[in-house]
Amino acid sequence: MNRAALFDVDGTLTDTNHLHVTCWWEAFRQAGHAVAMHDIHRVVGLPGEDLPGHLLGEGRDTSGDERLTAAHDTLYATWFDRLPGLDQAAELLRELDRRGWRVVLVTSAGDAELTALRGAIGADDAIHATASADDVSEGKPAPDPVVHALALAGAAASDVVFVGDTVWDMTAAGRAGVVGVVGVGLLSGGIPRRDLEQAGARAVYRHPVDLLDGLDDSPFADLSGEVGT
């Protein structure tokens, strides 16, 4: 079986979480909802169709949810040509590819947004496959995206590390339907270390560059027998 390195994108490889917060805040404002940016930040990483329910409550008129999501998507798309990749994110993916890991992106973004995000990362040569919101019926924290990514990589869960920046990423890894997926958290998305650890992260790093610098002592090395090399 292959070894797979699964990566969330927003907040993990690209510095885009706060852009999402701003765009969602404006979408809610336009629809007449006063939602605090702090509360929005805590749910970034959920699929767009699920996020309004977490913030506005489930027992409400949901007829405006599609307009909310469309407003966010339109606002966010104005940044497509300026999305910033996180420092050393591309080098991290290339180093894992060089070490024999199949790199798969696992994101709640749709295909059009994912194309812009891949451009921001700038490491298409190291990316084996992508699992986007358009590929599954239910996004993170459901296990569907992770299970789909396992199939794309041809990997067993015991040979997988999933790197993400939100509790939804860690929860999805833990719910993948098979025992063994290792969750690694990054603080680059703004979620506290304690939250990531409580959601199941085995190790937490500040930034992609810190994970790159510490690969030889990371869960990646634990699975590949490269500790200390």
pLDDT digits (tens, 9 = 90+) for 125-146: 999 999 988 898 888 988 889 9
pLDDT at 26: 98
140/194 same-domain check: yes
Residue 210, in any domain of the structure? yes
116/188 same-domain check: yes
9/27 same-domain check: no
- pTM of the shown model: 0.93
154-189 per-position pLDDT tens digit? 999 889 999 999 999 999 988 875 446 899 999 999
SS3 72: helix
Contact 127, 105 (CB under 8 A): yes
145/214 same-domain check: yes
Q: Which of 165, 176, 160, 156 is nearest to 208 (CA)?
A: 165
Residue 27, in any domain of the structure? yes
Structural domain range at position 100: 2-15+84-224
H or E, element range at 111: helix 111-121
Count of positions (residues) in the chain: 229
129/29 same-domain check: no
The larger pLDDT score, comparing residue 56 to residue 58, is at: 56
Write the CATH number for 34. 1.10.150.240
40/109 same-domain check: no
8/101 same-domain check: yes
Residue 229, in any domain of the structure? no
pLDDT at 229: 37
62: which strand partners? Answer: none
Domains: count for the chain: 2
Percent helix, strand and coil across the chain, each to the nearest 5: 50, 15, 35
As a whole number, the mean pLDDT across the chain is 92
Residue 139, in any domain of the structure? yes
* Cα–Cα distance, 70 to 89 (Å, whole number): 29
33/134 same-domain check: no
SS3 104: strand
